[in-house]
Amino acid sequence: MSDLLQIKNYLERDAINQKFQKLLWDNAHWFLTTVLGIVNSNDLLKKAEPQTIYLASLVSASLKLPINPNLWFAYIVPYKNWKSWKIEAQFQMWYKWFIQLAQRSSKFKTIETVKVYENDTDEEVMKRLVAIRKIYPVDAELVWFASYFKLLNWFEKTFYMSVDELKKHWVKYSQSYKRWYGQRVDNFDAMAEKTVTKLLLSKYAPLSVDMQTAVTTDQAVIRDESFDAVEAVEYVDNESDVIEAETSLDPELLEYWKKEVKSCKTLAELKKLKKDNKPTNLTILSLFKTHEKTLQN
């Protein structure tokens, strides 16, 4: 049996089809056909473990995310697991889908990521961040990437990383970049925009349920259908940069959550806030627990 036929048979199991139909309704068949087309066009993906292809596709379907590299939203990439020596499928997202997920949460007034060139002023960069059409200087050296958001409650944050900082970050967190291959080498600008956007959101923004799923599963091999749990994913390229972000909480974000939690006047309001956002950070969870005791008294 060929590798592609084995993967096709795996994805056509009744139980798997039912899961995609539940998520995508009439689009389930088209989605799975697209996945098989992507696998067929990549010799390494044909050799990947079928379950990892299925679970990467399942994440994409749960986020209502087209899994087509030509659309620059999300894609499945083959990766050699150096521990097991198996080829596995890894789920990855482009930066523009992080932005769309943020917009979908209905909490953001604006969010954007831009390039910053030598001799750009702060005013010029801010104009670029809020402009519909981005105008970049000609024949200038690219030195920074900037990501910015403003919430509907007017909380805002700007995050910068220089080109050198990005390269050092990738050397620390990516085995493939150390070996000088992969998307960070082939699509430097796009992956730089994604890195600063993802770090901005994971460190400073209130994350919706979908956004938490995206941050957790991006660049990971999915091991279990409960992919929103940290133990259900494995960052085979290296430990995910978001793990570091989860260990600390930005003071401004902490203040934001203090105000959000304190604004709840009833237990019902507090439960709804927690249900809508599903926070995972222990500091934030302690705010909910403390305020819950206050409301009960």
pLDDT digits (tens, 9 = 90+) for 206-260: 877 788 888 888 878 888 777 655 567 777 666 444 433 333 455 667 777 888 8
CA 275 to chain centre: 20
**Is 288 contained in some domain?**
yes
Regarding whether 126 and 83 lie in a shared domain, the answer is no
**Is 102 contained in some domain?**
no
**Is 103 contained in some domain?**
no
Regarding whether 66 and 125 lie in a shared domain, the answer is no
Regarding whether 126 and 69 lie in a shared domain, the answer is no
Domain boundary among 25, 60, 93: 93
Regarding whether 18 and 77 lie in a shared domain, the answer is yes
Domain boundary among 205, 237, 265: 205
> Residue 249: what pLDDT?
54
The count of other CB atoms within 10 Å of the CB of residue 160 is 14
**Is 168 contained in some domain?**
yes
Regarding whether 198 and 132 lie in a shared domain, the answer is yes
Number of domains the chain contains: 3
- 116: which strand partners? 144
> Residue 67: what pLDDT?
81
Which stretches of the chain are assigned E, i.e. beta strand? 74-80, 87-93, 108-117, 142-151, 156-162, 221-222, 233-234
Regarding whether 119 and 53 lie in a shared domain, the answer is no
Give the residue among 100, 145, 110, 146 at the shortest CA–CA distance from 130: 110
Residue 29 domain boundaries? 3-93
Regarding whether 194 and 121 lie in a shared domain, the answer is yes
pLDDT tens for each residue of the chain, 297 residues long: 468 888 889 998 999 989 999 999 888 888 999 899 989 988 888 999 999 999 999 988 888 888 876 777 788 888 877 677 788 888 888 877 788 888 888 889 888 899 999 888 888 888 888 877 778 888 889 999 999 999 988 888 999 999 999 888 888 777 667 766 667 777 888 889 988 998 888 888 887 778 888 888 887 888 877 765 556 777 766 644 443 333 345 566 777 788 889 999 999 998 888 877 766 566 777 788 788 888 887
Regarding whether 127 and 192 lie in a shared domain, the answer is yes
**Is 291 contained in some domain?**
yes
**Is 156 contained in some domain?**
yes
Query: If phi over 0 gives left and psi between -120 and 50 gives alpha, with beta otherwise, what is residue 115?
Result: beta
Prediction pTM value:
0.70
> Residue 247: what pLDDT?
37
Regarding whether 85 and 43 lie in a shared domain, the answer is yes
> Residue 82: what pLDDT?
67
Regarding whether 148 and 188 lie in a shared domain, the answer is yes
**Is 272 contained in some domain?**
yes
> Residue 49: what pLDDT?
92
> Residue 78: what pLDDT?
85
**Is 154 contained in some domain?**
yes
Domain boundary among 178, 205, 232: 205
